Structure 1
Amino acid sequence: MAAAVANRAIGAIVGSAVADAAAQPLHWVYDLQKLQVILAQHPNPEFCPESANPFYRRQTGQQSCYGDQAVVLLESLSACGGPRPQLPIEGPWRHASLKGFLKNVDAGKEETGCEDDCQIDGITKLAPVVAFYAGKPDMLEKVEQAVRVTQNNDASDWDYFLRFLEHFILNGPDPKALDSVLDQLSDPNRKQPQDLDKAIIGLPGAFQAALHGVLTATRYEQAVRDTMSCGGCTCSRGSFIGACLGAQIGLEGIPVSWTSKTQCYASVLEHAKKITRQHQ
């Protein structure tokens, strides 16, 4: 039982990182006509050899700006045994929450999180934290601490996403996962209650698309491909879908043809194994 949980936790971390890297060349492509041309040329768009991102360019196989944060958190957990801010967080793209975060750091503020950004950053980087604390009573508290390092507002906690991921890590595939999470959110005695627990907030399209990808997926590869074919913020949706499916299928279910193209795979796997030893 313990070994199975550890394997699913590793699968969540690796699955998230690999899916993020796979989707990175097509991150933030909102021009659907351009996207259709790309998909016609690359019907399996993962690890597209040329970046089509109109905002930043990275080599194929590298992480997105979201994935960079996830790797930093993973390395911090591995080195320190808990989520601590790494200052400053470096990345090829400084989106709104990181700009606010760095501004607060430069100002010497004790609370560094951006107060007015509630985008999906809050969940894309947290597979390592959920994997580390899955099954522990303080999981949501630790997740909130990690989120608030860069996004310090109530709308960015995304605890429904994290409850899904924890459920899959602890239980594996479960067709009743949605019912289970909704039951948790309806429990007046639940941990870390939020006024908006029952609402879909912040980015409803991203939430619905990612959740749909998790609940309807039959294979890891196809689920990531399907969400990539929708365009937009492919990496945020892909990383969450990859984490949830990775938790269900374990490390062995993530295709070698994908992990071999993920540049940080060896490092991610090493750190993932280290922080999940507690589950064994």
Structure 2
Amino acid sequence: MQRVAGALMGALIGDALALGCHWYYDLAELRQECGPWITDYLTPRPGRYHGGLLAGDLSQTGLLLVMLMESLIHCAGYEEDDFTHRLDTELFPQLDGTPMQGPGGYTNQSIREAWRKRVSEKRPWGACAGDADTTEGAERAIAIAAFFALQPKKMAEAACSNIILTQRDPAIVAMSVAFNAVLSQLISGVFLTPQMGTRLMAQATSGVLPFHQVTQGHLHPPQGTEKIQAGQFSSPDALLTAGYAALAAADPDIIIEPAWKVSLVYGMPCAIYHQLPGAYYLASRFREDYESAVLHAINGGGQNMSRAMLTGALVGAQVGLEGIPHRFITGLRDSQQYLALASEMEQCAGLNAKLR
């Protein structure tokens, strides 16, 4: 079903679809300027975020995802030195530390912080992460989840290594790695159902995922004394969020109508703890309908770019590349380049599965 390509293209399309209607926290203003229901790529209005770009362009977050895809393919795996060299030579020379500048028309907080520490303060990589509580690390690591989809331990290690380049809060890193653990499961062929939490907790119990077990099965107290291994996340709770969101989507007594109002239920802001539940909910409710999932993500306003990118990856993984409407692919600028990269990633992921 080309699930790897579906996840990658699903993420890039979600990113680009939100470019022209990004960061409208006043929903009346969003409807007035972008129409009552956004259905396609839009050119950002002058004076707003990403001004000067065209309909179908990627934001900087999307471009960073592409950069990591290229690095993974070039190195036949995750090599931190190669990726950071690309940041040093391809991205950072185009930044000046201010938000409304740089490729993609806007530079997010975590990247600005890393630029300041790396370029202005001359710090080494490993000492450039900041305190942003946003989703940039999770979004970038979509490439790693796709590449190592059938190797969850290697995926978690590589994703964590990449995410902590720019974000240092352990809770934010845990949620970011957990998102990509969910995505890897979907690429491997399962669907986002209420059982997802149980599946991921089993991997934590076996040591495949780096989450310390503070409880036993069904959240019962642990038996005996547990030794925490260095480098493990302190709590497995981030692994449970997707299952609970899927349970909400399946429960007939929980009604969010229309579905775009998920942004009002879980929150419109940028923080990852607002973004992930909404993305998980939409990706479960519309797990066989990519178009509905991303359009409801976009029309909810606020930080709809992250919501659409995360949702797009999750649903793209479930429907495969063929489940993404063709008009979204053709409307994405440079889509043939991205399709070629996604195809190479698909082949690499298949090879990695054989080498486990």
The TM-score bracket by the shorter chain reads 0.7 to 0.9
Cα distance change on mapping 1:178 and 1:97 into 2, 3 Å = same
Amino acid at match of 1:74: M
Give distance in 1, aligned partners of 2:184 and 2:195. 10
- Structure-1 residue corresponding to 2:133: 118
Amino acid at match of 1:159: V
Between 240-249 and 153-162, report the one with greater CA deviation.
Answer: 153-162
The correspondence for 1:139, drawn from 155, 167, 170, is: 155
Between 208-217 and 104-113, report the one with greater CA deviation.
Answer: 104-113
- Structure-2 residue corresponding to 1:36: 31
List alignment gaps of at least 5 residues for structure 2: 95-102, 212-232, 242-270, 352-356
- Structure-1 residue corresponding to 2:276: 207
Amino acid at match of 1:105: R
- Structure-1 residue corresponding to 2:191: 173
Task: Output aligned runs, 1:151-190, within 5 Å.
Answer: 151-157=167-173, 158-181=176-199, 183-184=201-202, 187=205, 189-190=207-208
CA contact (8 A) 1:29 1:54 kept: no
Between 30-39 and 44-53, report the one with greater CA deviation.
Answer: 44-53
Alignment: residue pair count: 274
**Deviation, structure 1 residue 156:** 2.9
Q: Does residue 1:127 correspond to 2:147, yes or no?
A: no
- Structure-1 residue corresponding to 2:222: none
**Deviation, structure 1 residue 51:** 3.7
Give distance in 2, aligned partners of 1:216 and 1:18. 19
The correspondence for 1:258, drawn from 328, 331, 340, is: 328
**Deviation, structure 1 residue 252:** 0.9
List structure 1 runs of 4+ shifted beyond 6 angstroms: none
Cα distance change on mapping 1:16 and 1:53 into 2, 3 Å = farther
- Structure-1 residue corresponding to 2:123: 109
Give distance in 1, aligned partners of 2:322 and 2:157. 30
Give distance in 2, aligned partners of 1:180 and 1:46. 36
Give distance in 2, aligned partners of 1:112 and 1:13. 29
CA displacement, residues 138-193 of structure 1 (integer Å, 9 cap, x when unaligned): 11000111112222332332122111101100024353453444534763734222
Amino acid at match of 1:242: G
Give distance in 1, aligned partners of 2:235 and 2:307. 21
CA contact (8 A) 1:102 1:112 kept: no
Amino acid at match of 1:195: S
Please give the secondary structure, in 2, of the residue aligned with 1:260.
helix
CA contact (8 A) 2:18 2:298 kept: yes
Cα distance change on mapping 1:65 and 1:166 into 2, 3 Å = same
- Structure-1 residue corresponding to 2:225: none
Cα distance change on mapping 1:207 and 1:264 into 2, 3 Å = same
List alignment gaps of at least 5 residues for structure 1: none
The correspondence for 1:61, drawn from 56, 60, 64, is: 56
Amino acid at match of 1:149: L
- Structure-1 residue corresponding to 2:220: none
Give RMSD over aligned pairs: 2.4
Q: Which has the larger radius of gyration?
A: 2
- Structure-1 residue corresponding to 2:217: none
**Deviation, structure 1 residue 52:** 7.7
Q: Does residue 1:74 correspond to 2:69, yes or no?
A: yes
Q: Does residue 1:97 correspond to 2:84, yes or no?
A: no
Identity of aligned residues (%): 23
- Structure-1 residue corresponding to 2:22: 27
Q: Does residue 1:148 correspond to 2:187, yes or no?
A: no
Cα distance change on mapping 1:68 and 1:177 into 2, 3 Å = farther
CA contact (8 A) 1:51 1:59 kept: no
Between 223-232 and 103-112, report the one with greater CA deviation.
Answer: 103-112
**Deviation, structure 1 residue 67:** 1.1
Q: Does residue 1:244 correspond to 2:314, yes or no?
A: yes
Amino acid at match of 1:102: W
Cα distance change on mapping 1:80 and 1:260 into 2, 3 Å = same
**Deviation, structure 1 residue 276:** 2.4
Cα distance change on mapping 1:31 and 1:125 into 2, 3 Å = same
**Deviation, structure 1 residue 62:** 0.5
- Structure-1 residue corresponding to 2:87: 87
Between 252-261 and 42-51, report the one with greater CA deviation.
Answer: 42-51
Cα distance change on mapping 1:174 and 1:151 into 2, 3 Å = closer
